[in-house]
């Protein structure tokens, strides 16, 4: 048996087909591909689920179970989701904390599952008790109102973050590259010469400070070589050194 | 003017009222309370938006603008959201990176806004160009399909995480407390005595190892004082030392 590489999503007694479809769509957005359904109210398959899933239901595995116990029987660690705190001594994890815990367990070869309860009531306490920990989404305490698909989306999003691991910030520069220090030197030297010719610097000792600040502006913008070339062209145009179109 | 404490959400030319309602609901779940609408297709107010918002529209501020430029005119930093990378040299942040950046700017007294485009096309390039950075949600590259309300939810969730700052793991113990070391001592000492009386330990030198492992199990479970008391009661019952109910 191949070790699992991601958690199983378990919907316990889901009521509306639309929400099963929204769950599938949310899951696949996060790259999650195994869904277990425990006794869905309106049976299975379900046309409304298909319609809501934006094609996701065809791309994930859906397994049907009669009871929660059967759906998690082969799982080494189970997480329950609940909007309300229950009166039990059970660890409460954030989605981020839960995903980190799941990743650790997957690396140890464990099978994991996340339980979501029916729309109206949420998970029953007896199902929560079966779980190792609860996952609770930190929301506005004065307005916490996520539907089933939205709750699955938050978990799937945290999962996706842990997998795709995008850098918090990236600057795509396409075909151009950030300007090199020598290109900034060249740009600033030329600008300084032009400004000297136009008697821009009234106070000699301010010259290097001003040029430093101007360089700082363009360095901070992470100007590309192409952008510096455009600025060179602008200077030439302002100086009247470029010929109007049509002239040679 | 009071400094802003949270980003403004701007929907540019939203098409369906339902999505404006879903946006309001998503926002308020994250505690976000200012929504600016740029020329919504079906006008404003919108009954379908009300129906979809689960009451959130009545609890947030909605402001109407004719153009994106007008909606962001008073903002010091603007973030655009887009599913697709655009052909421009513009920083791309994750939702988490974007929220961190927004928090930093709010602390500096800046007003910030996050732009979301119309459902079908997403933001036009000219609107993206007005922004300081793009925010892109890291999703399954083979299936990235979030609707408007879902995209807003992910941002609102990240915002909420940064504000409510829940610990990644907490163990609520209710009225009881985690057992103290002395309570574990007492529990283990009693168990050892009982097991000695029943000749449980066949090999004397294994005794302390076994008792250490048993203590480890209950310490690892972070057993509460109440739970240890329950276990004490179970031992007494197994020994026949508890009277049946009704007997005194």
Instruction: Inspect the interface and report whether the beta carbons of A87 and B174 lie closer than 8 Å.
Output: yes
Please report the number of interchain residue pairs, chain A to chain B, with beta-carbon separation below 8 angstroms: 151
Query: Please, are residues B45 and B63 in contact by the beta-carbon 8 Å criterion?
Result: no
Integer Cα distance of B81 and B12 in angstroms: 11
Q: ipTM score here?
A: 0.89
CA B120 to chain A, closest CA, distance in angstroms equals: 15
All residues of chain B having their beta carbon less than 8 Å from the beta carbon of residue A137 are 157
Instruction: List the one residue out of A238, A217, A226, A214 whose CA is nearest residue A183.
Output: A226
All residues of chain A having their beta carbon less than 8 Å from the beta carbon of residue B154 are 153-154, 157
Instruction: Inspect the interface and report whether the beta carbons of B150 and A150 lie closer than 8 Å.
Output: yes
Q: Which helix (H) or strand (E) holds A116?
A: strand A112-116
Give residue B246's pLDDT: 62
Q: Is the pLDDT of residue A244 over 80?
A: no
Beta-bridge partners for B14: none
Residue among A138, A160, A167 whose CB faces B140 most closely:
A160
Compute CA B167 distance to the chain's CA centroid, rounded to the nearest angstrom.
Answer: 10
Residue among A89, A161, A172 whose CB faces B224 most closely:
A89
All residues of chain B having their beta carbon less than 8 Å from the beta carbon of residue A53 are none
Instruction: Inspect the interface and report whether the beta carbons of B31 and A90 lie closer than 8 Å.
Output: no
pTM: 0.90
**Six-digit token string for A175:** 């075909």
Which residue stretches of B30-78 are H helix?
47-52, 68-71
Which residue stretches of chain B are H helix?
17-29, 47-52, 68-71, 95-107, 125-129, 148-164, 181-197, 207-220, 225-238
Which residue stretches of A84-206 are H helix?
95-107, 125-129, 148-164, 181-197
Give per-10-residue mean pLDDT for chain B (248 aa): 90 98 98 98 97 96 98 97 86 96 96 96 94 96 94 98 92 92 96 94 92 95 95 92 61
All residues of chain B having their beta carbon less than 8 Å from the beta carbon of residue A160 are 138-140
Place of tokens 């689920």: A49
All residues of chain B having their beta carbon less than 8 Å from the beta carbon of residue A29 are 139-140, 143-146, 150
Instruction: Inspect the interface and report whether the beta carbons of A137 and B157 lie closer than 8 Å.
Output: yes
Residue of A nearest to B97 (CA): A168
Burial of B84 (0-12, 13-18, 19+ CB in 10 A): exposed
Residue of A nearest to B99 (CA): A168
Residue of B nearest to A167 (CA): B94
* Tens digits of residue pLDDT in A176-202: 999 999 999 999 999 999 999 999 998
**Six-digit token string for B248:** 């005194």
Integer Cα distance of A219 and B211 in angstroms: 65
Which residue stretches of A40-147 are H helix?
47-52, 68-71, 95-107, 125-129
> For strand B92-93 and strand A169-170, is the pairing parallel, antiparallel, or unpaired?
antiparallel
Q: Which helix (H) or strand (E) holds B94?
A: none
* Tens digits of residue pLDDT in A8-66: 999 999 999 999 999 999 999 999 999 999 999 999 999 999 999 999 999 999 999 99
Give residue A87's pLDDT: 85
Residue of A nearest to B132 (CA): A221
Query: Please, are residues A10 and A38 in contact by the beta-carbon 8 Å criterion?
Result: yes
All residues of chain B having their beta carbon less than 8 Å from the beta carbon of residue A171 are 89-92
Query: Please, are residues A120 and A15 in contact by the beta-carbon 8 Å criterion?
Result: yes
Beta-bridge partners for A12: A38
């Amino acid at each position: 048996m191949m070790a699992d590489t991601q958690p199983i999503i378990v919907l316990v007694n889901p009521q509306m087909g639309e929400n099963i479809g929204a769950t599938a769509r949310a899951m696949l957005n996060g790259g999650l591909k195994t869904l277990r359904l425990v006794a869905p109210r309106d049976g299975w398959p379900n046309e409304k689920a298909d319609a809501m899933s934006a094609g996701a239901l065809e791309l994930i595995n859906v397994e049907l179970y009669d009871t929660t116990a059967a759906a998690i029987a082969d799982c080494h660690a189970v997480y329950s989701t609940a909007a309300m705190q229950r009166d039990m001594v059970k660890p409460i994890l954030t989605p981020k904390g839960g995903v980190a815990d799941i990743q650790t367990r997957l690396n140890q070869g464990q099978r994991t599952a996340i339980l979501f309860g029916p729309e109206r009531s949420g998970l029953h306490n007896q199902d929560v008790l079966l779980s190792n920990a609860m996952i609770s989404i930190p929301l506005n305490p004065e307005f916490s109102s996520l539907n089933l698909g939205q709750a699955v989306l938050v978990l799937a999003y945290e999962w996706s973050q842990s997998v795709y691991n995008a850098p918090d910030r990236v600057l795509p520069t396409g075909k151009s590259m950030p300007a090199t220090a020598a290109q900034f030197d060249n740009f600033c030297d030329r600008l300084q010469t032009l400004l000297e010719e136009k008697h821009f610097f009234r106070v000699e000792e301010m010259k290097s400070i001003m040029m430093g600040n101007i360089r700082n502006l363009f360095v901070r913008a992470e100007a590309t070589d192409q952008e510096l070339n455009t600025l060179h062209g602008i200077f030439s145009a302002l100086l009247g050194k470029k010929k109007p179109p049509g002239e040679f």
